[in-house]
Amino acid sequence: MTPVIQQNVSLRAFNTLALPSTAEYFCSVSEHSQLLQALELARTSALVVTIIGGGSNIVLAGDIPGLVIQIDLRGVSHRYVTAAGNATGDLANAVDVTFAAGENWHQQVLFCLDQGWYGLENLSLIPGTMGAAPIQNIGAYGVELADRLISLQALDRQSGELVCFDRQSCEFGYRDSLFKHAGYDRYIIVDVTLRLSTKPEPNISYPALSAAVEAFCRREGLTSEAITPRLVSNLVCEIRRQKLPDPALLPNAGSFFKNPLLKQPQLNALLAQFEDMPNYPQPDGGAKIPAAWLIEQCGLKGAERGEVGVHDRQALVLINRGQASGAELLALAGEVRQSVEQRFAISLEIEPRIYGVN
């Protein structure tokens, strides 16, 4: 089926910040052939292409010229992994699951739990699509996508070919990947394969999660035996619902800034000045600093500026209080960055991708 291309489409419902923005042309593609046709049409009409998934990590600062393609490719398949070198074909407690890029992340986490496929439970309730997950190597509660990714397939917009990337070639980092650097705007991810475990091995090392698990077990009179991946998923959802605003009720894009990674000299200089500054050591001797703490120290937690604000329970989240424009939101982001820069000499990096700035 040929893709339906619409003109002058409002993108308010296609971004979780609910920012007003109009796509010059828009189409949603649910089949690979539709994606190819949409790209060909853009090429022959000299239209710039913008790819979106669930719109939960983008800031629409204005109207979007050219063609916006929403990736809605669907389908899930799996293959149980055989133990290496085992002639009898015994299974290796692992399953490789391939998800088409348009599948919803959280729904697939729940689907996998239902199948008895484990390893994604800490990443419950992250909005967005499977295909966007590798872009920033999504992570939460001590687990990140890179821990599970085996490979992904992407359409190379330069050559028109499908390319397979293994984990190493994705160049994953902290909320980072090749697709934010050398692969920027070049690849359209069409499916993602994750290796999951058929043996429950809950990871509750993240302090906020282990505290929630302990409190739950104490309250219910349970021992550590009762800690299942399903329980971990439920508790992650519970913590997130307590702390993070639901975009459907209070539009937001999750963390607006990345947690800065400081090198040792800067870290030591700051700790000499701010000895209570929380910091999480990194392999290079530096540390990761929670950006929420930096923002809070600047007195900006809960700040309101017209239609935008800094969330009062999680300072890393900027919110649209109703009728905000992208420009207002970026002005607040600028104020936050400037305050943190002045007080700590740390330059906060914006996490979502900004579109529609001339």
Mask: binding to ligand FAD, 14-43, rule CB under 6 A, as x and -? Answer: --x---------------------------
User: Residue 3 is which amino acid?
Assistant: P
Q: Which of 22, 34, 129, 193 binds ligand FAD (CB under 6 A)?
A: 129
Using CB under 6 A as the binding rule, whether residue 62 contacts ligand NAP is answered as no
- For the CA atoms of 45, 47, 52, 56, the dihedral, rounded to the nearest 10 degrees, stands at -150
259 vs 325, which CB is nearer to ligand FAD?
Answer: 259
Say how far apart CA 100 and CA 127 lie, in whole Å: 16
Using CB under 6 A as the binding rule, whether residue 140 contacts ligand NAP is answered as yes
Using CB under 6 A as the binding rule, whether residue 259 contacts ligand NAP is answered as yes
42 vs 295, which CB is nearer to ligand NAP?
Answer: 295
Residue 161 and residue 82 in contact, taking contact as beta carbons nearer than 8 Å: no
φ, ψ (nearest 5 deg) of residue 307: -85, 0
DSSP, res 119 = S
Residues 6+ apart with CB under 8 A from 277: 270, 271, 289, 293
351 flagged as catalytic? yes
Binding to ligand NAP in span 223-252, by CB under 6 A = 243-244
Using CB under 6 A as the binding rule, whether residue 27 contacts ligand NAP is answered as no
Q: Which residue, among 200, 207, 212, has the nearest Cα to 236 in the 3D structure?
A: 212
Q: Which run of H or of E encompasses 193?
A: strand 187-197
Residue 113 and residue 229 in contact, taking contact as beta carbons nearer than 8 Å: yes
Using CB under 6 A as the binding rule, whether residue 105 contacts ligand NAP is answered as no
40-58 burial by CB neighbour count: b if 16+ within 10 A, else e? ebbeeeebebbbbbbbbbb
Using CB under 6 A as the binding rule, whether residue 308 contacts ligand NAP is answered as no
16 vs 153, which CB is nearer to ligand NAP?
Answer: 16
Pick one of ligand FAD, ligand NAP, none as the site partner of residue 129 (Cβ within 5 to 8 A by kind): ligand FAD
Q: Which of 42, 51, 100, 287 binds ligand FAD (CB under 6 A)?
A: 51
Q: Which run of H or of E encompasses 310?
A: strand 308-310
Using CB under 6 A as the binding rule, whether residue 336 contacts ligand FAD is answered as no
255 flagged as catalytic? yes
48 vs 208, which CB is nearer to ligand NAP?
Answer: 208
Strands (DSSP E) found in 46-121: 49-52, 58-60, 64-71, 76-82, 91-100
Binding to ligand NAP in span 151-170, by CB under 6 A = none
Pick one of ligand FAD, ligand NAP, none as the site partner of residue 132 (Cβ within 5 to 8 A by kind): ligand FAD
Using CB under 6 A as the binding rule, whether residue 255 contacts ligand NAP is answered as yes
Residue numbers annotated as active site: 175, 255, 351
Binding site for ligand FAD (CB under 6 A): 16, 51-58, 71, 101, 126-129, 131-133, 135-136, 138-140, 175, 188-189, 244, 247, 252-254, 353
